[in-house]
Structure 1
Amino acid sequence: MKSIQISKYGGSDVVDINNDAPIPRVSTDKVLVEVKASGVNPVDWKIREGYFQQMVPLQFPATLGTDFSGVIKELEQNVSTNFNIGDEVYGQASLLSGGSGSFAELALTNIKSIAVKPKTLNHIEASSLPLVGASTWQGLVDNIGLSKNQKILIHGGAGGIGTIAIQLAKHLGAYVGTTVKSEDKEFVKQLGADEIVDYTTQNFDDILHDYDAAFDTVGGETYKKSFKVLKNNGTIVSMLEQPDSNLMNQYGVKAIFQFTETTSERLTKLVQWIDQNNVKVNVEKTFPLSETAKALDYQKDNHPRGKVVITI
């Protein structure tokens, strides 16, 4: 089978196509999926460049890729599972979570990391969702507990997570403020954003006030300035920054660092919400499997509106 692999950490020059990669073998808790499409996330080029080698060192050659949508090809006989051969599923197959890598024609994935694909989405759209969808659900529902009439600031509203987070926050009945570049203002307005700040010309912390929560996918100074926007007893969840005790004490804000866990439970809840509410999934650009190196660089060097997807 074809698989996109690296034999050492580095840039796009270390990415190779293996036309004869071995087919992964199923086990009691893992199924084999025929991958139809694979979403590209920042974590994918970071894995390529060795960001996580201290935490989870790769065994080379290693197949890249995290998110996917596809069809179950094989599962171990006599295993009790809700899935069957031929089921359309979406989820994760990252090496970091015990999978075999999703940038391949076939991928091994843990049963606890997949769910039945949303019926209202095609494979390209569904493959863009697992990480950003689970991150959004974990952040807004599980960590913040966002409820009706609360105000939430969502940074990077036109990005992969932001586009889903705005729609979920509106579904929960919240008032949504977001930061985007000028050309994305109309796009996030159509997604439901109530208050839009152009971060290229405006300081959001001078404009937005008395928010109940913030969801940060940017980090750095943006994270620090977000405390100023929040009410006393407000909550900030960051995908990048560890809680800053000085800022927490200064503003009376609860801070949470979120490491996303893409579970079947969260993926299933996402499906129910998506299929019932006409959720918009924006895929900015697709690449064939043979151009995965270009796809990773595009994700790294640009700020895609929504997601980048590899078609297989």
Structure 2
Amino acid sequence: MKTAQINKYGGSEVVKINKNAPKPTLSLGHLLVEVHAASVNPVDWKIREGYMKQMVPLQFPATLGGDFSGVVEEVGEGVLGFKIGDEVYGYASILSGGSGSFAEFALADAKSTAHKPKNTSHVEAAALPLTGVSAWQALVDHIGLSRGEKILIHGGAGGIGSVAIQVAKHLGAYVATTVSARDIPYVKELGADEAIDYKNQSFENMLHGYDAVYDTVGGETYLKSFKVLKRGGIIVSMLEQPRSELMERYGVKAIGQLTQVTSERLSKLAELVDKRAIRVHVDKTFSLEQAGEALEYQQKGHPRGKVVLKIKT
């Protein structure tokens, strides 16, 4: 089969197309999926560059990619709820027990796979697993966001932010978001009540008494966000770890999120997509052969929504 692999850590130049890679061998608790589409996340280029090598050193050659949408080819022992021919989506990263999704076939843990939303294409479904679950886990499981509450979502035009805005609106919250000026109309269309140009406006001076902040940016943005929260509020960050001195000073709770893609969360997302409460925005598609370019575009192009590889055309 064809796959996009790396044999060493580095930039986009280390991504090579292997046209003769062996098909993954089915194992207990896993599904073998014919991949129709796979999306690109920031973690993919970070894996390529070796950011994760202390935590999880790769065995080379290593197939990149996590998010996928496709069709079940084989069902492993101990797997319930799936059969051959089912359209599924999920997460198959080599960091989470999968074989990598930038390939014609991928091995995926059944616990991080669910039935694909019925109302979407494989390209749209592939754009959803990691970003969608990140938004769901933060807003529903960590924050417990409810109707009438106010939330600030940083990076509203990105993959996670664009889903988070829609989930927050579905839950009945008032949503403010920070974006670049060119993305203000886009996030308003997604449902944001207030859009702040982060380059020319100071969100920390404009917003006060908020129940929650969801941070996908980190750094100074994270530090300034504490000023926005009311006492008893909560901030969840994708990039920063909680700082006890800030929590004590502002009287708030802080959580550093490590996203866990589960069948249950994927199924909840699929329901929202099928109800048309969430629409997936794909910024650009690439072929599998263009995986290196797709990673480069994700890293440097500031995509609006998601970048997707169309693998089966």
Shared fold by TM > 0.5? Answer: yes
SS at match of 2:307: strand
In structure 1, the gaps of 5 or more residues are: none
Shift of 1:277: 2.9
Aligned to 1:245: 244
Shift of 1:90: 0.3
Q: Letter of the 1:39 partner, please give it.
A: S
Go from structure 1 to structure 2 and tell me whether the alpha carbon gap of 1:94 and 1:135 turns closer, same or farther (over 3 Å shift): same
Aligned to 1:12: 12
Identity score, percent: 65
SS at match of 2:275: helix
* Alignment: residue pair count: 311
Aligned to 1:285: 284
Q: Indicate whether 1:92 and 2:67 are aligned.
A: no
The 5 A counterparts of 1:13-162 are 13-76=13-76, 79-162=78-161
Structure 2: distance between partners of 1:176 and 1:251? 21
TM-score normalised by length of structure 1: 0.98
Shift of 1:276: 1.3
Aligned to 2:306: 307
Shift of 1:39: 0.6
Q: What RMSD, in angstroms, separates the aligned Cα atoms of the two structures?
A: 0.8
Q: Letter of the 1:125 partner, please give it.
A: E
SS at match of 1:277: coil
Structure 2: distance between partners of 1:189 and 1:17? 39
Shift of 1:259: 0.2
Aligned to 2:223: 224
Structure 1: distance between partners of 2:277 and 2:137? 20
After TM superposition, where is structure 1 displaced by more than 6 Å over at least 4 residues in a row? none
User: Is the 8 Å Cα contact of residues 29 and 79 (structure 2) preserved in structure 1?
Assistant: no
Deviations 1:235-273 (A, max 9, x none): 000000000111111111100000000000100111111
Deviations 1:84-119 (A, max 9, x none): 000000001100001000000000000001000001
Deviations 1:132-153 (A, max 9, x none): 0110110000000000100000
Structure 1: distance between partners of 2:78 and 2:151? 44
Shift of 1:278: 4.3
Deviations 1:47-82 (A, max 9, x none): 000000010100000000010000001123x64511
Structure 1: distance between partners of 2:251 and 2:146? 20
Structure 2: distance between partners of 1:311 and 1:228? 43
Q: Letter of the 1:114 partner, please give it.
A: T
Structure 2: distance between partners of 1:98 and 1:80? 15
In structure 2, the gaps of 5 or more residues are: none
Q: Letter of the 1:267 partner, please give it.
A: L
Q: Letter of the 1:208 partner, please give it.
A: L
Go from structure 1 to structure 2 and tell me whether the alpha carbon gap of 1:109 and 1:206 turns closer, same or farther (over 3 Å shift): same
TM-score normalised by length of structure 2: 0.98
Structure 2: distance between partners of 1:242 and 1:84? 40
Moved more, 212-221 or 20-29: 20-29
User: Is the 8 Å Cα contact of residues 166 and 277 (structure 2) preserved in structure 1?
Assistant: no
Structure 2: distance between partners of 1:272 and 1:98? 26
Deviations 1:176-215 (A, max 9, x none): 0000000110111111101110011111101111100000
Structure 2: distance between partners of 1:15 and 1:198? 35
Structure 1: distance between partners of 2:83 and 2:141? 30
Structure 2: distance between partners of 1:172 and 1:279? 12
Go from structure 1 to structure 2 and tell me whether the alpha carbon gap of 1:117 and 1:2 turns closer, same or farther (over 3 Å shift): same
Q: Letter of the 1:12 partner, please give it.
A: S
Structure 2: distance between partners of 1:247 and 1:73? 50
